[in-house]
Structure 1
Amino acid sequence: MVVTTGHRAVQRSLGTLSGLVITAGIMALHPSQGVTIVIAAVAVGLAQPLLAKELCAGDARPAGAEP
């Protein structure tokens, strides 16, 4: 699957917006510092497999190369 630059920009924008909404919801609950650290660590841990997949999906071939 080839991901175009425009498609990737939309994905990143939606991901950022989703993260901001989720973060605002969590922060509205006023969690303690320890809970905030645990939530952040879990979020980073869950994001790593997705980031690695997306970054490798379209970057292996030069622009314009056949799939």
Structure 2
Amino acid sequence: KIVPKTNLMVETDSPYLAPVPKRGKRNTPAYVRHTAAFLAELRGESLEELESYTDTNAIKIYKLPI
């Protein structure tokens, strides 16, 4: 909760350190949703809310065309 929404991004540590419930398997970018869900729970937010502002942050940081 210390990190402001405007500064938060979510990533994987592929191919190592898969999130629970995939621990012990090879990590893939597809598992980032598990990390995001855990982070949303810690922050007391819905997954959809976290996805919304982290998507916006990624667009800004990487200067992605929308």
Q: TM tier, shorter chain?
A: 0.3 to 0.5
- The structure that has the greater radius of gyration is 1
Q: How high is the TM-score relative to the length of structure 1?
A: 0.32
Q: How high is the TM-score relative to the length of structure 2?
A: 0.33
As a proportion of its length, which structure holds more helix? Answer: 1
Q: Which has the higher contact order (CA 8 A, sep 6+)?
A: 1
